Amino acid sequence: MHWQTNLPLIAILRGITPSEITLHIEALLEAGFDTIEIPLNSPDWENSIPAMVKTYGDSALIGAGTVLTPKQVEQLALMGCKLIVTPNTHPAVIRRAVGYGMTVCAGCATATEAFAALDAGAQSLKIFPSVAFGPAYIKALKAVLPADIPVFAVGGVTPENLPVWLTAGCLGAGLGSDLYRAGQPVSRTREKAAAFVKAYREAMQ
């Protein structure tokens, strides 16, 4: 399948608050990002996610991360959320999200988990925590996965090592604390976003 955004880098805004999220997302969109993940262990996500879906849903894939239960999926569906990212392989969560027409990027670590996620309907996979496994592990895992399934490296990805994950067979990456840390100024988000976009585009030349 084709990943449905132009830039396969997922901006993970863990810990962001409703009062600051708009400026950070604007900085990310200006840099070229079009996939935003707001983890459910962020403050007041019940307000952040629907507000961002309403404001930016036409220009970016706005989603939720650290989604753990089918009930959370139902809440998110009512908010218009289009992307569900999980830290683990939970078939009931995946099936519920797919049933609502959402894009699911399911967290997994092993071949068993990866195939369980795909059997449940996940359209993409994130290998988490990637830094603990390394690119050689992902390359080996990719050898047994369907070739058309997008795989994302998440955990420990930096602008400097992004090309290594792409070479290992990842379509892209989820970017957490190396892109955004709770409380950082918008100028920092803008700077880090530009570095990641530059690294990605140079790696793909």
Domains of the chain plus CATH, in order, are 9-204 (3.20.20.70)
Q: What is the Cα–Cα distance from 142 to 149, expressed in whole angstroms?
A: 9
* Phi, psi angles (nearest 5°) of residue 97: -65, -45
b/e map 54-65, b = 16+ CB within 10 Å: eebeeebbbbbb
* Phi, psi angles (nearest 5°) of residue 173: -155, 155
Out of 37, 82, 142, 192, the active site residue is: 37
State pTM to two decimals. 0.97
Give yes or no: 71 in active site.
Answer: no
Name the CA radius of gyration of the chain, rounded.
16
Per-residue pLDDT of 71-106, as tens digits, reads 999 999 999 999 999 999 999 999 999 999 999 999
Per-residue pLDDT of 14-37, as tens digits, reads 999 999 999 999 999 999 999 999
Band of the pLDDT at 2, cuts 50, 70, 90? low
Give yes or no: 54 in active site.
Answer: no
Residue 120 is predicted with a pLDDT of 98
Out of 20, 46, 54, 126, the active site residue is: 126
Strand partners, 61: 35
DSSP-assigned states of every residue in 11-28: EE-TT--HHHHHHHHHHH
